Amino acid sequence: MRKIIYIILIVTFSVSSFGCAIMKDKFIRKTDNSKKEKQIFQSTNNVYPTDVRYNNHWVYYEIWVYEVISSMGENHKKTYNSAQRALYNLKEMQVLLKEPKASDLNLYIEKMASFTKELKSFSLSNPRQNKIADELKLQVREVKKEFNSDLMIEDNWIKTDAN
């Protein structure tokens, strides 16, 4: 009699725990098979006028340089990425300028490229980091004085159809 009760209990337990579905279907989450639409981002380079684009790159350059200065000595990767973005925006400013002014900006691009190359190495001493930060502050002041977006727009140094 006891054997029959044990057998009935074992059979009921196994049927209730597994049921009719397989283990995979019962205990593992189902994947979401609905397809998500891909987002497509389009470049806005041709949408805005060149003076607006120059102004944007000018502002971004200034922001990224100050980010380099503020993050100096704290987070190496953040400092290096900020320097790269500042350099990128300087190059974009150069593309949007007419030739005599564009070649003048080349000096600052070369300086920023050398700073970026130096910031890539992990072995910068604190005095060298402070020197780079001071030189970057000076560079921002000089670029602001010579290549300010309002000044470039007033003096008509910005290309009309730069792409």
Mean pLDDT of 145-162: 82
Whether residue 107 is contained in a domain is answered as yes
Whether residue 161 is contained in a domain is answered as no
Whether residue 162 is contained in a domain is answered as no
pLDDT of residue 140: 93
CATH (domain of 100): 1.20.120
Whether residue 59 is contained in a domain is answered as yes
How many domains, in total, are found in the chain?
1
Whether residue 78 is contained in a domain is answered as yes
Whether residue 12 is contained in a domain is answered as no
Under a CB-based contact definition with an 8 Å cutoff, are residues 140 and 69 in contact? Answer: no
Helix (H, G, I), strand (E, B), or coil: what is residue 124? Answer: coil
Q: Give pLDDT tens digits for 57-92.
A: 999 999 999 999 999 888 889 999 999 999 999 999
Residue 82 domain boundaries: 50-154
